[in-house]
Amino acid sequence: MIYLDNSATTYPKPTCVYEALDYANRNLAFNAGRGNYSVSNQASKIIDETRESIASFVKADARQVSFVSSATEALNLIILGLHLEDGDCVYISPFEHNAIVRPLYTLKNYINIEILILPFNTETWEPNLPKIEEMFSIKNPKAIFISQLSNVTGLLIDYEQIFAISKQYNCVTILDSAQSFGIKNPNLDNVDFCVFAGHKSLYASFGVAGIISKKYKELKVIKSGGNGSNSLNHNMPDSGPERIESGSPNIVAIYGLLTSSKWLKNNDVLKHEEELTKYLIKSLSSLKKIIVYKPSDIFKLLGIVSFNVEGYLSDDVATILNDEFEIATRSGYHCSPFVHNFIDSEKYNGTVRISLGAFNTHDDIDQLICALKSL
Amino acid sequence: MIYLDNSATTYPKPTCVYEALDYANRNLAFNAGRGNYSVSNQASKIIDETRESIASFVKADARQVSFVSSATEALNLIILGLHLEDGDCVYISPFEHNAIVRPLYTLKNYINIEILILPFNTETWEPNLPKIEEMFSIKNPKAIFISQLSNVTGLLIDYEQIFAISKQYNCVTILDSAQSFGIKNPNLDNVDFCVFAGHKSLYASFGVAGIISKKYKELKVIKSGGNGSNSLNHNMPDSGPERIESGSPNIVAIYGLLTSSKWLKNNDVLKHEEELTKYLIKSLSSLKKIIVYKPSDIFKLLGIVSFNVEGYLSDDVATILNDEFEIATRSGYHCSPFVHNFIDSEKYNGTVRISLGAFNTHDDIDQLICALKSL
């Protein structure tokens, strides 16, 4: 199998991560912070060390890093935890994923928020900043959600400029870094909450993700439960990452993340992905009947490229690639409801998406191109 | 190390579970239901097979089984998802854990619910049914939460009679089976939502737990996100387990659970635990200066026994057991705020808790007793 669905989950992981997960399952899988015994305390230390390792990617403080089970959970805790009220305006980019869109619409069932889509130029894929400033001045932003890297198009979205404008309105800024954290690390200067996913660009396993923030105390508690301390208190802690961490920590997944984050620091996956992305775009663009979705400046894409083949629905192409060539890609809407209107891919029922990882090669791309030529 | 903290998480797991987790990390860790390729479809099939395996413990239908990341998450989704309104009365047993108590008090910050504790006899530890009937008739129960097995005392709580009475009031019944599912399987006749935890009595890993219910459609959606289907719809599905399943499924943990549930069906862990529990109670009761917390009928306890030593705080005993004897126990309040008043253990700052697992032996208990004699 040639695996080209690394945005869904990176595969394979580095060998050291598999070894770490196996070791942790057999030797470290105790309940951190809940026992007065050595291996439980050891688990707590591993969690602290992993907070430090994640924080170091973005020069944050370890105490800003929380761990939850998935980026979806992290985004739900933020969205439902913000003190949004009737009439508040929330902005998202057209590239956002259902991990943001659905919780916002879930909230909208109870609170009359307005969900507005930021205008982006369909040629350059750049934010239309003057128009955004105008929108903000008319309908002040209460919260804004942007993905650092679009899971459908591979676009590195210019969140920095948008967040800088947002901050003039005392707006809460949320950066979804699920597709990039660890590889292309964000600048958190104007970011209130940054979300990362262990099993994607961080090359760890399912079961761990988290938030980097100085502002946990500003979130309402949504999920609560035992946290091994202060058992007689019916409330979660007032501040710090523990405010949103309830239930037994997944120490095995956290130890895997510690291992993978060390591996990432010693391997230039960014350079590898940049090179392969350029090669992929160039190779796809050379084919007839292929529509490659890209902005005028292709250097804004990283690791992910979407395309379609004239005369085929996206699902049909992915099915042929799997059945006839053992090439694993993803097709359809990719849980991103608004981007297909933006790139005009609805007539293909979405896109065929190629998402690259640390272990893909030029040969993988050559084989994909060879397969596509047969269509 | 002698590990006597199996209620926090069972350790060790069966060898076949470690092997399954390692195999799954290396070979099955794809994103189920999100790709048009073979290994993604294989992941979906494993999830369906695991639903069947879990359902078979309680003769339920596979489509009643949902998977989430932890029992704490499951209970939060239920508690916040119930359509509770101002003035509603919710009942809990005095044995409930903060995975239930804290979400209820979190909800109480927004909705004026009344949280009432069911009366239990302090000698027999049986529910006071006439008094419960009287309470229900005065303050009708809207929802009731009972643990099948108390995480502090090891009591098998008589939920069946209480739920039968509750059902006269069209009350929603929630059984927390985190400490027993897989070993001592519940009767779900009057249970609307049953919660299980993979990493405890089911001998799987962290990262998977779930709910068994016919009534997902009656829950408000709390957590939402991508689920690989119907991407253009901003809402979660109307019914079925998928209503509460969002984000990438933890296929590795689910495959571990499939493996462990098969192992449990071939190993009589219940008989082993019943025998060891009796031996533990008998051995502890023979010691001077030891207060064993137990009901008049000790056969109501399974796998867990709490005690204290006269003249010591519970934490001090656990620390000595760890530091001097390498015996891992848990002390304190165990995330259960109300039980310590019931058993009168607050003066010891909680209890020392012994919780047994499939791999404990009579010799483990003998060594514990020997250590306690030195105090």
Mean pLDDT calculated for residue range B339-359: 98
What pLDDT was estimated at residue A32? 87
Q: Tell me, what DSSP letter sits at residue A139? A: S
Crossing angle for the helix pair B159-166 and B129-138, to the nearest 10 degrees = 30
Q: Is B226 in Cβ contact with A102 (below 8 Å)?
A: yes
Which DSSP state fits B120?
B
- The verdict on a CB contact (< 8 Å) between B38 and A75 is no
What is the pLDDT, as a whole number, of residue A230? 87
Q: Do B98 and A228 touch (CB under 8 A)?
A: no
Do residues A239 and A217 lie in contact, with contact meaning Cβ atoms separated by under 8 Å? yes
pLDDT of residue A33: 75
Q: Does A231 contact B315 at a Cβ distance shorter than 8 Å?
A: no
CA A277 to chain CA centroid, Å, is 18
Mean pLDDT for the stretch of residues A220-237 = 92
Q: How many CB pairs under 8 A join A and B?
A: 288
Contacts of A232 in chain B (CB under 8 A): 333, 337, 340
Q: Alpha-carbon distance B7 to B183, whole Å?
A: 13
Cis preceding-peptide flag for A12 (omega within 30 of 0): yes
pTM: 0.98
Residue of B nearest to A73 (CA): B223
Burial A241-274 (b: 16+ CB within 10 A, else e): bbbbbbbbbbbbbbbbbbbbbebbeeeebbebbb
Task: Give me the residue spans of the domains in chain A.
Answer: 2-12+267-373, 15-265
CB contact under 8 A, A234 and B332: no
On the CB side of B315, how many CA atoms lie within 13 Å of its CA? 8
Give the residue-averaged pLDDT of A316-322.
Answer: 97
B340 Cβ contact partners less than 8 Å away, ≥ 6 residues apart: A232, B152, B333, B346, B350, B351
Name chain B contacts of A247, Cβ cutoff 8 Å.
70-73, 99
Please say if the pLDDT value at position A34 is more than 70. Answer: no
Two structure tokens written together for A334: 């990719």
| Residues of chain A with C-beta less than 8 angstroms from the C-beta of B318 | 35-37
Put simply, the answer to whether A222 touches B12 (Cβ < 8 Å) is no
Chain A hits for B107, CB-CB cut-off 8 Å, are: none
What pLDDT was estimated at residue A35?
A: 65
Which among B234, B243, B340 is the top mutation candidate for probing chain A, defined by the most A β-carbons within 10 Å of its own β-carbon? B234
Counted residue by residue, chain A has a size of: 375
**Architecture category of domain A15-265 in CATH:** 3-Layer(aba) Sandwich (3.40)
Token couple for B355: 């919780």
Q: A175: part of which helix (H) or strand (E)?
A: strand A172-176
* 3 state DSSP class of A193: strand
The pLDDT value given to residue B33: 75
CB contact under 8 A, A205 and B26: no
Alpha-carbon gap, residue A80 to A113, rounded angstroms: 12
d(CA A324, CA A92): 39
Helix (H) or strand (E) holding B115: strand B114-117
The secondary structure of chain B in percent helix, strand, coil, rounded to multiples of 5, reads 40, 15, 45
pLDDT in tens, B30-49: 998 766 789 999 999 999 99
Report CB contact under 8 Å: A98, B226: yes
Strands (E) located in A241-342: 290-293, 304-309, 327-328, 330-332
User: Confidence band (pLDDT; 50, 70, 90) for A356?
Assistant: very high
The CA distance from B94 to the nearest CA of chain A, in Å, is: 13
Give the pLDDT of residue B32.
87
For A121-133, letters b (16+ CB in 10 Å) and e give eeeebbbeeeebe
* Interchain CB distance below 8 Å, A8 and B39: no
Tell me the C-alpha distance between A365 and A286, whole Å.
13
A353 Cα to chain B: minimum distance (Å): 10
Q: What is the pLDDT at residue B34?
A: 65
Q: How far does the CA of residue B104 sit from the closest CA of chain A (Å)?
A: 9
- In this prediction, residues B129-136 reach a mean pLDDT of 98
- As a whole number of Å, the end-to-end CA separation of chain A is 19
Given pLDDT bands bounded at 50, 70 and 90, which one contains residue A70?
very high
Q: What is the DSSP letter of A29?
A: -
Are residues A36 and B106, on separate chains, in Cβ contact within 8 Å?
A: no
Cα separation, B352 vs B345, in Å, equals 10
Tokens 């029992």 correspond to B71
| CA within 13 Å, CB half, A213 | 29
Nearest residue to B303 (alpha-carbon basis) of B155, B204, B159: B155
The mean pLDDT value for B112-127 works out to 98
Contacts of A234 in chain B (CB under 8 A): 98, 101-102, 105, 337
CB contact under 8 Å between B98 and A226, yes or no, is yes
How many other C-beta atoms are found inside a 10 Å radius of the C-beta of residue A93? 25
The closest alpha carbon to A253, from A4, A50, A39, A5, belongs to A50
Residues in B closer than 8 angstroms to A25, CB to CB, are 13, 18, 21-22, 205
Mean pLDDT of chain B: 97
Please, are residues B139 and B114 in contact by the beta-carbon 8 Å criterion?
yes
Considering the segment(s) A2-12+267-373 as one domain, its CATH architecture is Alpha-Beta Complex (3.90)
Q: pLDDT value at position B227? A: 86
